[in-house]
Amino acid sequence: MKTFALNSNINVVEFEKDVLTIEFAHQPFCVKKSFVKTLSKKLVDFSKDIPLKKGEIDWDEIKVGTHFTAFIENEIATGEIQKNGIIIYLCQNTLDGQRCNNRLGYKYSWTIDEGSLEKLGGNSVSLISFAADSEVKKKDAPMPPSYKHDIGYEIQILRGCVKIGCQGIPNYKIRELVKIMDK
């Protein structure tokens, strides 16, 4: 079996009968296949207002100034999108992160790098929606669930991806892995 890349830093290196060996941060960990299948059933996808292209957010379709609602570091934040070349910022008044030159009138900005699902998860962002009126009540946007696993990292289910430690794995990669396991 060839190595299956979940993202640029996490690879499935071996499939056994009931266990996967995953290399994460250059350390091998064993994960039960049943855990991966249970996790795949809990994945949360994006709302229909988020344009997707090949499973990733199509940032070319999202203009500067587009309103968003997201969880950043488990805090709900609303604001507007800013871009500087390929780097995308979430301008908002909730959390201070990497600064962009023009925060569109908001106090803070938070980078999501080029906006891949891997980078969203790695930057602790769970995007909820893009909307003209981005005010979303907390009850409408439940906190992303977290799980402890014996690999020693917290696992958090975000919209569009799963965060393990500080690494984001796109939902579509987990679904591909489950298909391979079922063969």
| 168-183 confidence digits (pLDDT tens) | 888 888 888 888 888 7
Q: Tell the burial category of 27 from Cβ atoms under 10 Å away from its Cβ (0-12, 13-18, 19+).
A: exposed
State the SS3 of 20-31: EEEEECCEEEEE
Most confident residue range from 5-19, 32-46, 55-69: 55-69
pLDDT at residue 144, rounded to an integer: 62
pLDDT at position 142 over 80: no
pLDDT at residue 30, rounded to an integer: 84
Domain edges within the chain: 4-44+144-182, 52-140
Does the pTM exceed 0.85?
A: no
pLDDT at position 140 over 60: no
